[in-house]
Amino acid sequence: MISFPVYLDNHSTTRVDPLVLEAMLPYFTENYGNASSKSHEFGWKAEASVDLARKLIARLLKCEPRDIIFTSGATESVNLAIKGTAETHSAKGNHIITTVIEHEAVLDSCKNLERKGFDVTYVKVNESGIVDPKDIADAITDKTILVSVMYVNNEIGTIQPIKEIAKICKSKKILFHTDATQAVGKIPIDLSKLGIDMMSFSSHKMYGPKGVGALYKTGKLPRVRIAPQIDGGAQEKGLRAGTLNVPGIVGLGKACDIAAKELENEAIRISLLRDRLYHGIISAVKGVRVNGDTVKRIPGNLNISIEGIDADSLMISMKEVAVSTGSACSSEAVEPSHVLSAIGLDKGLMRSTIRFGIGRFNTLEEIEYVIKKISEKVTYLRSISPSNNGNKQKKGEYAEV
CATH architecture of the domain with range 18-258? 3-Layer(aba) Sandwich (3.40)
230 has a pLDDT exceeding 80: yes
pLDDT band at 391 (very low <50, low <70, confident <90, very high): very low
Q: Are 160 and 125 in contact (CB under 8 A)?
A: no
- 125-159 tens-digit pLDDT: 999 999 999 999 999 999 999 999 999 999 999 99
Start-end of CATH 3.40.640.10 domains in the chain? 18-258
Q: Domain 6-13+263-384 belongs to what topology? A: Aspartate Aminotransferase, domain 1 (3.90.1150)
Residue 401's pLDDT is what?
Answer: 44
Q: How many whole angstroms separate alpha carbon 336 and alpha carbon 330?
A: 10
Between the CA of residue 25 and those of 20, 251, 382, what are the distances in Å? Answer: 9, 9, 49
Indicate the pTM of the whole model: 0.94
Rounded average pLDDT over 81-94: 98
Q: Are 277 and 356 in contact (CB under 8 A)?
A: yes
Start-end of CATH 3.90.1150.10 domains in the chain? 6-13+263-384
395 has a pLDDT exceeding 50: no
Angle at CA of residue 212, ends 249 and 145, nearest 5°: 115
- 333-375 tens-digit pLDDT: 557 899 999 999 999 999 999 999 999 999 999 999 999 999 9
pLDDT band at 221 (very low <50, low <70, confident <90, very high): confident
Cβ neighbors of 63 (< 8 A, separation 6 or more) are 191, 192, 216, 218
Q: Are 177 and 85 in contact (CB under 8 A)?
A: yes
Give, for 215, the enclosing helix (H) or strand (E): strand 213-217
Out of 63, 110, 256, 329, which one is annotated catalytic? 329
Residue 329 annotated among the catalytic residues of the structure: yes
- 32-44 tens-digit pLDDT: 999 999 999 999 9
Q: How many whole angstroms separate alpha carbon 351 and alpha carbon 314?
A: 11
217 has a pLDDT exceeding 90: yes
